[in-house]
Amino acid sequence: MLDVKRMVLLRDLAEHGRVTAVADLHGVTPSAVSQQLRALEAEAGAGLVEREGRGLRLTPAGTALAAACEPVLAALERAEAAVRALDAEPSGELAVGCAPSALATVAAPLVAELGLRHPGLRPRLVQCDPEDALPLLRGRRLDLAVTYAYPLLGAPPAPGTTAVPLFADPLCLALPEALLPAYERTGLGALRDRAWVSAPAPSSCREMLLHACRGAGFTPYVAHACADLRSGLALVATGRAVSILPKLLCDAPPPGAVVRELPGPGRTFQAVVRAGTEARPAVAATLAALRVVVSGR
């Protein structure tokens, strides 16, 4: 019988390409990962990895086994959900990852809603960006993640996960009040020579800013990198910068800055769970509570 935990290591090696990356992901040493992979080869009766330079690459057998991992994990999650469904009431701890921009508007009301509906359920919030939340979710360190995606960027869904759409968050232009007439006359092109503020690269928010400006015929000069885009609005208010950011982050612009919603799709907030866990009572209860929390958006 193949060991599922060892299959997960092989799956992660297929995705990340380096034993050290897999070791970091699981909090173990590279030698421990290599030892577990050798044990999996003995169980499978086939060579799964082979040396390539200073690293490893999967053999055809290893590639086939790594591809079979997600359906196996989803089946095990469904089996566990079937057992948990016999519980009278959702209870216990539930780790919920949440993008920073949704903590106040989604995560905090979610905790309150779950407290009313299921007092035996103990949600534990973890602030994390989508690129951090999804590995934690797949590694079973989160049970659910409130994340976002930009459809225009075309990022594929994470393997082994199921995403439930929650609400749309349009993109907005934030600009100094004095520049509003020029923008209203000629659009984004009026701001081509201005300094821009966005998130540090790499960032999906920054990519969307670049996408919007290039669509208007220019590449913006991103002079300022600000991880907290709400704080970037203070730069806009000085009259020395402009920005494009999600509407959720610019609901209260400071004096001197104005916000205008841009046409076209922005980002989509979604609840992401491991495939097969949707029917787990605690997860199903949290998804239902999330729908109530975001119902007005």
On whether the CB atoms of residues 247 and 168 are closer than 8 A, the answer is no
Find the helix packing angle between 60-67 and 69-84, rounded to 10°: 30
Q: Which pLDDT score, from 0 to 100, does residue 44 have?
A: 86
Q: pLDDT per residue over 129-151, tens digit each?
A: 888 898 899 888 999 999 999 98
Q: Mean pLDDT across the chain, nearest whole number?
A: 89
Instruction: Give the pLDDT band (50/70/90) at residue 88.
Output: low
How many whole angstroms separate alpha carbon 162 and alpha carbon 164?
7
How many whole angstroms separate alpha carbon 279 and alpha carbon 270?
17
Burial per residue of 16-33, b for 16 or more beta-carbon CB atoms within 10 angstroms, e otherwise = eeebeebbebbeeeeeeb
All structural domains of the chain, each given as residue ranges with its CATH number in brackets, are 4-67 (1.10.10.10), 72-169+268-293 (3.40.190.10), 171-263 (3.40.190.10)
State how far the alpha carbon of 256 is from the alpha carbons of 134, 174, 259, in Å. 38, 10, 10
Nearest to 211 by CA among 143, 267, 268, 137: 267
Q: pLDDT per residue over 98-113, tens digit each?
A: 999 999 999 999 999 9
Q: Which pLDDT score, from 0 to 100, does residue 18 have?
A: 85
How many whole angstroms separate alpha carbon 94 and alpha carbon 223?
41
Distance of CA 92 to the CA centre of its chain: 24
Neighbours of 256 (CB within 10 A): 14
Token readout for 17 is: 């390409």
The pTM assigned to this predicted structure is 0.79
